[in-house]
Amino acid sequence: MRRGVVSFSVVSVFSCFTFYLFPFSLTESPQAQQAPAPKTYDLLLKGGHVIDARNRISEVRDVAIKDGKIAAVAANLNAADALKTVEVPGLYVTPGLVDIHAHTYTGTGERGSYAGDNSVYPDGFTFRVGVTTVADAGCAGWRNFEDFKQRIIDRSKTRILAFINIVGNGMRGGKFEQDLTDMEAAPTAEMAKRFPGLIVGVKTAHYQGPEWTPVEHAVEAGTMANIPVMVDFGTGRPERPVAELVTKKLRPGDIYTHVYSGLRGELDPSGHVNPGLIEGRKRGVIFDVGHGGGSFLWRVAVPAIKEGFLPDSISTDLHIGSMNAGMKDMLNVMDKFLAMGLSLDDVVAKSTWNPAREIKQDGLGHLSVGAVADVVVLRVETGRFGLTDMNGARMDSTQRLMCELTVKDGKVVYDLNGISRPEWRTLPPDYGPAGDGHWDALNPARGTTPGTQRGRGGAQPAAGPARR
């Protein structure tokens, strides 16, 4: 008996020792120990109607994403090749929307200032309406741009580009924006050249005087830095008519925003489009919407559209005075042009590829293979809707756009109805974050985000000794 007991103990100790060193069964097949083969795609959007102006696509296609880039746009891609497939039949798949007129330099605590309280933190206003990129329209000048970059640009999930204000102090209102001595071309251009691809243009705005100085110095800075100028023409003055601005002062590729405001003679006294705007377009000047809280009227836009004077780009002029007024968000502005008779294809082009080209960001606004994977899934809802202009006048509409899904840099950042998510009853009783960090920026499980062991719950602890 003693000998048998001793023999059993030795076997038991050996078995424990073996399991500690080799935790897998010795009879387990090599194939069972191998990790799953990597998928061809991280994310596949399947069965949607793709609208891509650059590539002249408007038809049902699948869109595949890998490593943050567009991997394929084609019919009938194999769902088995994707880590995650989202079925989107009946919906529209477009590039991420590019809003080139927004105000996002906030957090400074300065009252009444677009370098302060008048601006908004972008992330609360962008992804939920399909916007993946905004261009801040001149909130900062060369004196405070680096603070704007550190405070907002570097900390936002939204991709923020910027027009730098010709006013060194930026869009701080009152005495700052009327100070001709602070409108210096050289330091403005120097700052722009320090941040190429981030500073995408020069802005002049809100000037009330009769001088051309703000425009002339902005154009000078834009020429030095090889970037376009965006003009909010401020107070209408007979000494500087809008026709002269767009036919003589601006260069081809420069941008006139607030084109349907009616505040600066965009229509002539007979109610037709100012002939100067038509000549300006022939010269290559760009005309942008810039709706805002005070820069869009039906009585200007409708006759202009009927005459064929369409905008080159659609933008919001998002700030605290516009976000809850006639302008709600980017999709709301797009809805207005659908209501005025533009096709969905045209409206999408003016909200994606057109603005990207205007600010020389050819890597954005399209779904070419190899391009950054900013993608939006939109739904066209039908019903009875109302759309209002800056004075509260309503136009009735029968359709509106809703954002179902937003993907930025290849990862889901907004999902209105959970179309990328598993039904909860299909998950284990104690389920945790269900996404994979290869495609999911909202609920990635621990350790699934490429290049890091950080998941939704924070950094993984370093591996320690096995428990005995």
Exposure string for 384-395, b = 16+ CB within 10 A, e = fewer? ebebbbbeeeeb
Report, as an integer, the average pLDDT of 310-319.
98
pTM above 0.85, yes or no: yes
| Least confident among 3-7, 239-243, 295-299, 317-321 | 3-7
How far is the first Cα of the chain from the last one, in angstroms, to the nearest whole number?
Answer: 29
> What pLDDT score does 50 carry?
98
pLDDT of 38 reads 87
Is residue 244 classed exposed, middle or buried when 0-12, 13-18 and 19+ CB atoms within 10 A define those classes?
middle
Cα Rg, the chain, nearest whole Å: 27
- Output the pLDDT for position 35: 60
Residue 383 banded pLDDT, cuts 50, 70, 90: very high
* pLDDT recorded at residue 445: 94
Q: What is the pLDDT of residues 155-168, one digit of tens each?
A: 999 999 999 999 99
Interatomic CA distance for residues 26 and 321, integer angstroms? 69
Burial of 76 (0-12, 13-18, 19+ CB in 10 A): exposed
Of the pLDDT bands very low, low, confident and very high (cuts 50, 70, 90), residue 8 is very low
DSSP per-residue codes, 301-333: HHHHHHTT---SB----BSTTTTTSS---HHHH
Whole-number Å distance between alpha carbons of 133 and 364: 9
> Quick one: pLDDT at residue 1?
39
- CB count in 10 Å sphere of residue 1: 5
Task: Give pLDDT, residue 451.
Answer: 78
User: What pLDDT score was predicted for residue 418?
Assistant: 97
- CB distance 304 to 267 below 8 Å: yes
Q: What is the pLDDT of residues 85-135, one digit of tens each?
A: 999 999 999 999 999 999 999 999 999 999 999 999 999 999 999 999 999
* Cα 89 to Cα 48: distance, rounded to the nearest angstrom: 5
Strand residues in 336-393 grouped as ranges (E): 375-388
Task: Write the pLDDT tens digit of every residue in 433-442.
Answer: 989 999 999 9
pLDDT at position 71, please? 98
Q: What is the pLDDT of residues 425-463, one digit of tens each?
A: 999 999 999 899 999 999 999 999 997 644 333 333 333
Provide the percentage of residues in the chain whose pLDDT is more than 90: 87
pLDDT for residue 291: 98
> How confident is the model at residue 34, as a pLDDT?
60
The DSSP string of 224-293 is HHT--EEE---S--TTS-HHHIIIIISPTT-EE--TT--SSSSB-TTSSBPHHHHHHHHHT-EEB---TT
Query: How confident is the model at residue 153, as a pLDDT?
Result: 98
List, for residues 219-232, the tens digit of each pLDDT value. 999 999 999 999 99
pLDDT at residue 456, rounded to an integer? 32
pLDDT digits (tens, 9 = 90+) for 10-61: 334 334 433 333 333 334 444 445 667 789 999 999 999 999 999 999 999 9
DSSP state of 370: T
- Angle, helices 185-194 vs 213-225, to 10°: value is 40
Mean pLDDT of 197-215: 97
Mean pLDDT computed over 237-242:
96
For 96-367, give the CATH class. Answer: alpha beta
Average pLDDT, the chain: 91
In angstroms, the CA 333 to CA 114 distance is: 21
Q: What is the mean pLDDT of residues 321-335?
A: 97
**Model confidence pLDDT, tens digit, residues 75-84:** 999 999 999 9
Average pLDDT over residues 265-280: 97
Encode pLDDT of 181-201 as tens digits.
Answer: 999 999 999 999 999 999 999
Distance CA 276, CA 132 (A): 34
